[in-house]
Structure 1
Amino acid sequence: MSVRSNLHFVLFILMSALLSACATPPPSHIQVNSKEHQGKLSEIQQWNLKGRMAFKSADEKFSANLNWQQIEDSYHLSLNTMLGINILSMHGDKDSVELDADGEHYQDTDASHLIWRITGWQIPVSQFSFWIKGQAGPTDQAIYEQSGVVNQLIPHCDTCVGWLISYSDYRQVGDVWLPHNIKLNNSPLGNQILIRVNKWTIQ
């Protein structure tokens, strides 16, 4: 079976479970100053995330357990089936990226290009470490809830065209509120990524 086929292989039960888990829960009692909250998010440079991720396009559906560790510009991300079988493992920094899948090893200088080469998915990987936290970049358009946290993010960058990120289920982790449901949608490409965070660990 090809790498592309293996990476696209999913148990549809996992997808269904993730989609239902991403239903919006009752709102948390949050009240923050938006500017101060964004400042706290920018200070978080080392963290670990465990959860589930689902990818959906017009042609396919894919879901997996997600484990993501970020240390400043360096990251390690792995996707596994619910049986613990590794689908994909990727690590890198701003200068290079390496990916292992289906017994094959790949390298590139750009993570987004590498993902596109192997899977055909057009995903701006370099932006994910900010988006996942609900952190708006200096050129992004952020729509805030009355509570002060970001509800939607319209990013502006060369590889961000068409993406809209929506957030829900904010929970307090240490002294900062972090989203536990993240929906990334690109209507022109017909792509959607859903991330359900089970646990944030800030280091």
Structure 2
Amino acid sequence: MYVPIAAFDITSMVAVSVRSTIHFVLLILTAVILNACATHPPTPIQVNSQAHQASLQNTQQWTLKGRMAFKSPDDKFSANVNWQQIQDSYHLSLNTMLGINILSMHGDDDSVELDADGEHYQDTDASHLIWRITGWQIPVSQFPFWIKGQAASKDEAIYAKSGVIDQLIPRCENCNGWLISYKDYQKVDDIWLPHNIKLNNPMLGNQILIRVNQWIKQ
């Protein structure tokens, strides 16, 4: 059977052109997908440890928003956490995913008030009040320092090569057995703050995990 040479050539050329176009489109799509899946490397941290600790000490007005998980031998829960600190005064609220309040507490160095389960409580010591109401043995007064990654003068701090604290062994009263670990430091304005904090006390069987969604410096 006779087949026109021109027709055969045109058909072949069209087929080659279509295959080339499809191949090109697939290459572009692959590049886009790979680029979308690629993770950007974290911003490198390099600070002077003493200068960084001084900056943390001077940061006394802030708000932390995130997620907290607590586990003890008798209890465990997770909640949204909102902690606002203004100098020595603080306000802490824990809420469920549905926005139902679990606990609200506000106070300063001299007094503390707590609302939970429709009841109102007062005390002069936040740690004692928390223990009285919930049974949790937590040194609340140290939390504003621990959350920021700030070490007290007597604490044993293990620094990463970048200059920020990797682990903290506090030496304060009622701090026996606690170990605080830090990960995922991110720069907030002009200071590096941890966004993943683990507080562990094997002696008490207590563990607190805090994942920070947002730091707000005021």
TM-score, L = length of structure 2 = 0.80
Give the equivalent residue in structure 2 for 1:108.
123
Residue 206 of structure 2 aligns with which residue? 191
Structure 2 residue matching 1:148: 3-state secondary structure: coil
Match of 1:34 in 2: 49
Q: Determine what percentage of the aligned residue pairs are the same residue.
A: 79
Q: Which runs of 5+ in 1 are unaligned?
A: 1-25
What RMSD, in angstroms, separates the aligned Cα atoms of the two structures? 1.2
Distance across 1 between alignment mates of 2:74 and 2:142: 25
5 Å-filtered alignment, 1:116-155, equals 116-155=131-170
The match for 1:5 is none
The one of the two structures with greater contact order (alpha-carbon pairs below 8 A, sep at least 6) is 1
Q: Which amino acid is 2:164 matched to?
A: V
The C-alpha deviation readout for 1:94-132, integer Å capped at 9, x for no partner, is 000000011100000000000000011000000000000
Is 1:87 aligned with 2:102? yes
Alignment check: 8 A CA contact 1:170 1:178 kept: yes
Distance 1:44-1:190 versus aligned 2 partners, 3 A rule? same
Partners of 1:61 and 1:98 lie apart in 2 by 23
Report the secondary structure of 2:130's partner residue: helix
Query: Would you say how many aligned residue pairs link Structure 1 and Structure 2?
Result: 179
SS at match of 1:132: helix
Q: Is the 8 A contact 1:28 1:169 kept in 2?
A: no
What residue number does 2:68 align with? 53
Question: Structure 1 residues 30 and 45 mapped into 2: Cα distance closer, same or farther (>3 Å)?
Answer: same
Q: Which residue type is aligned with residue 104 of structure 1?
A: E
Partner Cα distance (1:158, 1:47) in 2: 25
Structure richer in helix, relative to its length: 2
Structure 2 CA distance, aligned partners of 1:32 and 1:158?
Answer: 30
TM-fit CA distance, 1:157: 1.2
Task: State the match for 2:13 in structure 1.
Answer: none
Once the two structures are superposed, what CA deviation does each residue of 1:122-164 show, in whole Å capped at 9, x if it has no partner?
0000000000000000000000000000000000011100000
What does residue 171 of structure 1 align with? 186
**How many angstroms apart in 2 are the aligned matches of 1:119 and 1:140?**
27
TM-score by length of 1: 0.86
Distance 1:70 1:103 in 2: 24
Letter in 1 for 2:165: V
1-structure distance, mates of 2:192, 2:200:
22
Cα distance per residue 1:67-107 (max 9 Å; x no partner)? 01000000000000000000000000000000001110000
Runs of 4+ in 1 over 6 A off after TM superposition: none
